[in-house]
């Protein structure tokens, strides 16, 4: 891997996009390496993933403008599909992915953060979809996920005006869950990931699937999706241990961490 680093800290995987000379912009190679990195994650040993960018200035400054500048219509569409396929793989990754947005999250950078389950950012983060200023549309999911996350009115304003927003505004409109000083961002992301990793892993995965799949269905179908994934948790070792632990009269035992089995 030239542009992606992967670290494993206990049950937490940390994926870092590392192309600082181009502010971590996404060219084809970065997209391919991201895809391969996620697909290589050991899902028996990992319960949450953090996605971040190398350096102190940029999370991801977008798709690579140099690479896109000479594309034909057909090549442009294929490049959009390449990004969309990788981002959809992240969105539907079986375990939660937290974006730790450490600076610029523009165009494809904002879009990849939106394919993650949760976004937190540093105070110097800047979000935006500047594509119309470059003569193109957001092409890695921005026209779809931004409206779903912050509502169509705000998404259209951001996309049509190509105006960037700072961390406090991203927080105000619900694009990020929390803002931290840059030096505290990764610790906060790791703490959140560790908090997820302590929970019953099958239940967490099923929650992600229920929320994602349910949002794409109408309510009648969505509650059936929930029922199936709820039922799926029963008879697991985690469900027996988790509930048994609660029902123990001994307070110490009740509070002990359940040795979740992932099966």
Enzyme catalytic residues: 111, 131
**54 contacts ligand CAA (rule: CB under 6 A):** no
Question: Closest distance between ligand CAA and the C-beta of residue 122, in Å?
Answer: 15
- Binder of ligand CAA out of 12, 15, 50, 61 (CB under 6 A): 61
**96 contacts ligand CAA (rule: CB under 6 A):** no
- Binder of ligand CAA out of 62, 91, 97, 189 (CB under 6 A): 62
Question: Closest distance between ligand CAA and the C-beta of residue 109, in Å?
Answer: 7
**71 contacts ligand CAA (rule: CB under 6 A):** no
**104 contacts ligand CAA (rule: CB under 6 A):** yes
E strands along the chain, which residues? 4-9, 12-17, 48-53, 58-60, 97-101, 104-106, 118-122, 126-128, 165-166, 178-180
- Binder of ligand CAA out of 4, 63, 155, 207 (CB under 6 A): 63
- Of residues 66 and 153, the one with the C-beta less far from ligand CAA: 66
Q: For 9, left (φ over 0), alpha (ψ -120 to 50), or beta?
A: beta
Residues 6+ apart with CB under 8 A from 172: none
Site for ligand CAA in 3-42 (CB under 6 A): 22-23, 25
**83 contacts ligand CAA (rule: CB under 6 A):** yes
Count Cβ atoms below 10 Å from residue 36 Cβ, excluding itself. 13
Q: What tokens appear for 12 in the block?
A: 């937490």
Q: What tokens appear for 9 in the block?
A: 């800290």
E strands along 145-252, which residues? 165-166, 178-180
Closest CA to 142 of 112, 169, 101: 112
Question: Closest distance between ligand CAA and the C-beta of residue 53, in Å?
Answer: 11
Site for ligand CAA in 172-211 (CB under 6 A): none
- Of residues 79 and 171, the one with the C-beta less far from ligand CAA: 79
CA distances from 173 to 79, 161, 178 (A): 30, 16, 11
What single string gives the DSSP state of each residue in 151-175?
Answer: -HHHHHHHHHHT--EEHHHHHHTTS
Q: Note whether 21 and 58 are within 8 A (CB).
A: no
Residues 6+ apart with CB under 8 A from 37: 1, 4, 6, 15
- Of residues 96 and 130, the one with the C-beta less far from ligand CAA: 130
- Of residues 69 and 257, the one with the C-beta less far from ligand CAA: 69
Question: Closest distance between ligand CAA and the C-beta of residue 57, in Å?
Answer: 7
Per-residue contact string for residues 105-144; x = within reach of ligand CAA by CB under 6 A: -xxx--x------------------xx--x---xxx-x--
Q: What tokens appear for 211 in the block?
A: 């929320």
The footprint of ligand CAA (CB under 6 A) covers 22-23, 25, 61-66, 83, 104, 106-108, 111, 130-131, 134, 138-140, 142
């Amino acid at each position: 891997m030239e542009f992606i680093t992967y670290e494993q800290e206990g049950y937490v995987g940390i994926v870092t996009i590392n192309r600082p000379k181009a502010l971590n912009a996404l060219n084809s190679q970065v997209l391919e390496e991201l895809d391969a990195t996620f697909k290589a994650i050991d899902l028996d040993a990992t319960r949450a993933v953090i996605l971040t960018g190398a350096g102190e200035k940029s999370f991801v400054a977008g798709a690579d403008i140099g690479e896109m500048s000479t594309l034909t219509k057909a090549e442009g569409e294929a490049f959009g599909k390449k990004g969309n396929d990788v981002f959809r793989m992240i969105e539907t990754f079986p375990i939660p992915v937290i974006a730790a947005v450490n600076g610029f999250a523009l165009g494809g950078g904002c879009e990849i953060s939106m394919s993650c389950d949760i976004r937190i950012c540093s105070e110097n983060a800047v979000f935006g979809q500047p594509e119309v200023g470059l003569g193109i549309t957001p092409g890695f999911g921005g026209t779809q996920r931004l409206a779903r996350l912050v509502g169509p009115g705000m998404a259209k304003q951001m996309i049509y005006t190509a105006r960037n927003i700072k961390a406090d505004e991203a927080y105000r409109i619900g694009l990020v869950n929390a803002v931290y000083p840059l030096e505290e961002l990764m610790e906060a992301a790791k703490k959140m990931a560790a908090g997820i990793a302590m929970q019953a892993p099958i239940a967490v995965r099923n929650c992600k699937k229920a929320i994602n799949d349910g949002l794409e269905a109408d309510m009648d179908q969505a509650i059936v999706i929930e029922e199936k994934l709820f039922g799926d948790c029963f008879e697991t070792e985690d469900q027996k241990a988790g509930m048994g632990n609660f029902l123990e009269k001994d307070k110490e035992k009740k509070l002990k961490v359940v040795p979740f089995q992932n099966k």
